[in-house]
């Protein structure tokens, strides 16, 4: 698909929210600003990110589509090896049977998204074309039912199963969004109304959220089992979070401008997504030694520096080794072919 500066701009805003959300999640005591911000961001940022992923996962050229899946799998395996085996070596941790099990079954921290992306694209690939193309309403309805009922399956973080089911409707909403002019509809919303909605919702969380509650949509253990709430209530909560994610995602899309600079930075989303987790892990370690402040303003500033720093690293030729490592096998094959 031809690049549209609006969607790349949106991707940059979303990847910043990913970085910021991960930066504050270990420093969000109940009742604090970070606590409200953490829950606020996590309601909509990944659903909207997945919506965009679905929009740009069109099944037109099957060979190209499958090659894209291979590249995603390659990135996942490379950094799953790093997180499962190399990271423990650096931090002098034991590598045993649990590590081998984690490599095959448990995606490391942020890598769940890549594994889920593979599942979503595989589902698109195997659905009969007549059903996929001619019955979008039925497909979306089934996706929603699967998402809501999936929490009753007693499987947690293995193979990103629960998250794949929970976010399935957002991927397919994105997939079908190419059939309509999304921006035309969203631009009908007054921008001041969109900004007011965001501020009101966040303010409500800031002044009323005084306790932890299970995120039955985003949590790695997103099944309804082993929660402190009845499963029926968890199911209802997932439905509410589903609607909130749509509302907040729509108003954010109305606020984000189509800006050339943002769009340029938004092209480096995968690079930032993969490498920011390493920097945040290092930041947390340094903070435990007392060398870095971790107040609200400092964490916001770190998030800006991490996001922009990685964007510029991705665009500097001297650091192309980091880009090369996202798809080392594919890059080697393409270099051989060009010789």
The proportion of the chain whose per-residue pLDDT surpasses 90, expressed as a percent, equals 68
Average pLDDT over residues 64-85: 93
Question: What is the per-residue pLDDT across 137-166, written as a single tens digit (0 to 9) for each?
Answer: 999 999 999 999 988 888 777 899 989 999
Of the given ranges (202-211, 245-254, 266-275, 327-336), which has the lowest mean pLDDT? 327-336
Question: What is the per-residue pLDDT across 161-197, written as a single tens digit (0 to 9) for each?
Answer: 989 999 999 999 999 999 888 999 999 999 999 999 9
What per-residue confidence (pLDDT) applies to 221?
A: 56
Decide: helix, strand or coil at residue 107.
coil
What per-residue confidence (pLDDT) applies to 109?
A: 83
Q: What is the rounded (10 degree) CA torsion for 111, 116, 122, 128?
A: -170
- Measure Cα distances from 239 to 101, 198, 250, 264, 290 in Å: 32, 20, 17, 35, 42
Average pLDDT over residues 288-297: 93
Question: What is the per-residue pLDDT across 301-313, written as a single tens digit (0 to 9) for each?
Answer: 999 999 999 999 9
Evaluate if residue 336 carries a pLDDT over 70: no
Burial of 169 (0-12, 13-18, 19+ CB in 10 A): buried
Average pLDDT over residues 208-214: 73
Q: Which residue has the tokens 């911000």?
A: 37
Burial of 94 (0-12, 13-18, 19+ CB in 10 A): exposed
Q: Report the alpha-carbon distance of residue 223 to residue 216 in Å, rounded.
A: 7
The DSSP-derived string for 217-280 is TTSTT-SSTT-SS-HHHHHHHHHHHHHHHHHHHHHHHHHS---HHHHHHHTTHHHHHHHHHHHH
Question: What is the per-residue pLDDT across 219-234, written as a single tens digit (0 to 9) for each?
Answer: 555 678 766 778 888 8
Instruction: Give the mean pLDDT of the chain.
Output: 90
- Measure Cα distances from 289 to 22, 99, 179, 238 in Å: 19, 27, 52, 39
For residue 55, what are its two tokens?
Answer: 């929009």
Q: Report the alpha-carbon distance of residue 5 to residue 173 in Å, rounded.
A: 20
What per-residue confidence (pLDDT) applies to 84?
A: 85
Higher per-residue confidence, 181 vs 114:
114
Confidence band, pLDDT 50/70/90 cuts, at residue 337: low
The proportion of the chain whose per-residue pLDDT surpasses 70, expressed as a percent, equals 91
Query: How would you classify residue 96: left for phi > 0, otherwise alpha for psi between -120 and 50, otherwise beta?
Result: beta
């Amino acid at each position: 698909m031809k690049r549209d500066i609006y969607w790349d701009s949106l991707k940059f805003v979303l990847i910043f929210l990913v970085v910021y959300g991960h930066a504050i999640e270990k420093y969000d005591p109940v009742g604090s600003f970070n606590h409200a911000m953490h829950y606020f961001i996590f309601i909509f940022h990944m659903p909207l990110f997945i919506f965009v992923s679905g929009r740009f996962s069109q099944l037109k050229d099957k060979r190209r589509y499958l090659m894209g899946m291979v590249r995603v799998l390659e990135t996942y395996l490379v950094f799953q090896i790093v997180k499962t085996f190399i990271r423990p070596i650096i931090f002098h941790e034991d590598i045993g049977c649990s590590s081998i099990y984690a490599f095959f079954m448990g995606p490391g921290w942020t890598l769940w998204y890549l594994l889920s992306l593979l599942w979503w694209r595989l589902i698109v690939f195997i659905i009969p074309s007549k059903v996929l193309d001619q019955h979008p309403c039925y497909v979306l309805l089934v996706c929603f039912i699967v998402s809501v009922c999936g929490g009753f399956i007693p499987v947690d973080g293995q193979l990103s199963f629960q998250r794949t089911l929970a976010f399935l409707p957002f991927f397919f909403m994105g997939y079908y969004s190419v059939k309509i002019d999304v921006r035309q509809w969203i631009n009908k919303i007054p921008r001041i109304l969109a900004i007011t909605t965001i501020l009101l919702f966040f303010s409500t969380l800031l002044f009323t959220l005084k306790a932890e509650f299970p995120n039955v949509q985003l949590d790695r253990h997103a099944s309804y089992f082993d929660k402190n709430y009845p499963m029926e209530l968890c199911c209802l909560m997932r439905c509410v979070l589903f609607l909130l994610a749509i509302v907040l995602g729509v108003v954010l899309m109305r606020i984000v401008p189509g800006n050339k600079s943002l769009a340029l930075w938004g092209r480096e989303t995968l690079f930032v997504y993969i490498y920011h987790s390493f920097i945040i892990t290092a930041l947390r370690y340094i903070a435990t030694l007392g060398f870095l402040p971790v107040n609200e303003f400092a964490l916001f500033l770190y998030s800006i520096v991490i996001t922009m720093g990685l964007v510029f690293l991705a665009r500097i030729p001297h650091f192309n080794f980091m880009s090369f490592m996202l798809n080392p096998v594919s890059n080697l094959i393409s270099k051989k072919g060009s010789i």
